[in-house]
Structure 1
Amino acid sequence: MNRVWSLAGTGPSGTITTAYYRGPWPVPVCDIPDRSHSMLFRTTSFQFFEASAKDNINVKQTSAGRQTSVQYSVKKEKKKKAKMCCSGFLKMMMFVFNGGIFLAGAAILGVGVWVKVDSGSLLGILENVDGTPSGISQLVNVSYLLMAVGGVLLVIGFLGCCGAIKESRCMLLTFFSIVLIIFIIEVAGAVVLFVFQGLAEQLLAGLETEVRESIRKNYGKSESLTSLWNATMEEFKCCGYLNYTDFDNSPFQGGKDVYPQTCCNATTTTGTCNRNAAHLSMVDGCFDMLLQLIEDNAVIVAAVALGIAALEIAAMVVSMSLYKNIGNKA
């Protein structure tokens, strides 16, 4: 297949010289230039142009009685530049994304360590504040979870950043593997929730007898349980597990006609919350409020989960693209 090739270069005299060749490539070199079949292009530097070059340009240049083979590919050079730009963009995205993960992990880890190390003075102050739930001591256990989550995020961010900057295939592969494992766990969890979407309601309903019995025996007697229920009812504006009757004959009543203040609607009754006021108020139980909370936030949870999954997929694609580019360079 014949093509028109345009070769331009700076000649020995410093002038711009342009020559054309029409025919198949490579050009047969001879001592007499021929614009239709063969040519001799004597320059100290040269460039080759072809609109749709797909083949390597193989040029034999005669210089000082010696022949030198020079290869140049327009398409390959353009492709190489495009790959370099793409690789640079991928590196930047990996660094920014994983830099954010690294900083978030460091912050979470720092909070966890602070809660653990300074828990004595912190909890001492909180426990001396009136109205603070006695279960606040469980805050120490949260520190371990924070440290674990922060540590994992720290490792992921470090591997992603260093793998991109240092072009380490080992780090990128490790980063990909960790994110893939997390992604698989999330997908498995989503499938379980989808298949057993009524599991939460069944689980909560199955605990009805035990929870109501616990209220009757321990509410007003156990300080930790009483504080927990008070905080829950205040937060969700609910009363008991099902309704105000859960507190009948509980230690809280002590033989009196009295119920937690959250079981009475402030706009309906004033003063002490008794049985009649609680009945007129008809405040919903915490079981119904909890189910409503789950249903109301299901869409938000699903959207957040999809967003996280999309970021994880993007991170895996970018890491594997860099992994492949680094392999091609080697």
Structure 2
Amino acid sequence: MGCGTSFVKYVLFFFNLVVALLGLAIIGVGVAFLLNWSAVKDELKSHLTVAPWVFIVIGAVMFVIAFFGCCGAIRESHCMVVTYAIFLLVIIILQVVLAILLFTYGNNIKEGLVISVQKLWEKRSIDTASDEVFKNLQEQLQCCGSNGSGDYGAVNLPQSCCKKDTLVSNAIGCTIANANGGCSAKVADLYERWNKPIAGFAIGVACVEVVGALFALCLANSIRNMDRRSRY
């Protein structure tokens, strides 16, 4: 049997079994969010409901692809193995395109993120949900306002504008004196820090997936040759 069919088969099976379990775990996170965090979800409306569905969709895609890989390998199904290889090649192409976009259009993406933060800030004055989302953004990124604490035009600021340890040490509360910097600059800095590592990670994973796709195509070819020999 060319290409060591048995070895390739079991390597693909265990690899995709791990991917399938990871996909189920990601789906579980999304479902748990929808079921248990309904109060938060209702408060933030459409801004937050997207997040769990992203987890569910990503987990489902991972599980379906891994299912074809596992079943195709263990049953030695030419059709399922080829389908798995095609899915994998499509994902590889998408990851490479993502990496290229991050490397080539990095500045444009960063400007787009900054504009999104500014639009969210402008919308918060007329939309309660946007205001809650922006406060959460300030807490998570430790920032204040779109361009800084001066955007609020007030001495006393929301507690989300200051670090918790600063609030404890300052009896007055959150003020311009102890507030964090602007969220637009913070988002831009985070993007600058992570865009190249993410692009490099996508390329690295794509390389691993290329090996998996080659194994799958090799197994598919071996299965087809075995089927041909069994007919004669």
Look up the SS of the partner of 2:143 in the other structure.
coil
The yes-or-no answer on 1:155 pairing with 2:155 is: no
Aligned residues: percent identity?
28
Q: 1:189 aligns with which of 98, 121, 129?
A: 98
How many equivalent pairs are there? 224
- Which structure is higher in helix share? 2
Larger radius of gyration: 1
The yes-or-no answer on 1:92 pairing with 2:10 is: yes
Q: 2:130 aligns with which of 210, 215, 225?
A: 225
How far apart, in 2, do the equivalents of 1:141 and 1:210 lie? 18
Relative to structure 1, the CA distance from residue 283 to residue 324 in structure 2 (aligned partners, 3 Å threshold; closer, same or farther) is same
The yes-or-no answer on 1:311 pairing with 2:192 is: no
Kept in 2: contact 1:133–1:227 (CA 8 A) = no
Q: Which gives a bigger RCO, structure 1 or 2 (Cα 8 Å, sep 6+)?
A: 2
How far apart, in 2, do the equivalents of 1:264 and 1:115 lie? 27
Relative to structure 1, the CA distance from residue 245 to residue 305 in structure 2 (aligned partners, 3 Å threshold; closer, same or farther) is same
**Structure 2: which amino acid aligns with 1:294?**
Y
Kept in 2: contact 1:115–1:140 (CA 8 A) = no
Kept in 2: contact 1:123–1:136 (CA 8 A) = no
**Structure 2: which amino acid aligns with 1:239?**
C
TM-score calculated relative to the size of structure 2: 0.80
Partner residue in 1 for 2:195: 298
How far apart, in 2, do the equivalents of 1:296 and 1:157 lie? 32
Alpha-carbon shift at residue 200 of structure 1 (Å): 2.3
Relative to structure 1, the CA distance from residue 207 to residue 156 in structure 2 (aligned partners, 3 Å threshold; closer, same or farther) is closer
Kept in 2: contact 1:133–1:224 (CA 8 A) = no
Partner residue in 2 for 1:259: 157
Relative to structure 1, the CA distance from residue 208 to residue 147 in structure 2 (aligned partners, 3 Å threshold; closer, same or farther) is closer
**Structure 1: which amino acid aligns with 2:137?**
T
Relative to structure 1, the CA distance from residue 159 to residue 213 in structure 2 (aligned partners, 3 Å threshold; closer, same or farther) is closer
How far apart, in 1, do the equivalents of 2:73 and 2:219 lie? 7
Alpha-carbon shift at residue 107 of structure 1 (Å): 2.9
TM-score calculated relative to the size of structure 1: 0.58
- Give the gaps of 5 or more residues in structure 2: none
How far apart, in 1, do the equivalents of 2:179 and 2:31 lie? 45
Partner residue in 1 for 2:53: 144
Q: For structure 1, which segment, 300-309 or 162-171, has the greater mean C-alpha deviation from structure 2 after superposition?
A: 300-309
Partner residue in 2 for 1:283: 180
- 1:93-242 residue pairs with structure 2 within 5 A? 93-113=11-31, 115-116=33-34, 119=35, 122-123=36-37, 126-127=39-40, 134-135=43-44, 139-206=48-115, 210-214=119-123, 217-218=125-126, 222-242=127-147
Kept in 1: contact 2:146–2:184 (CA 8 A) = yes
Look up the SS of the partner of 1:176 in the other structure.
helix
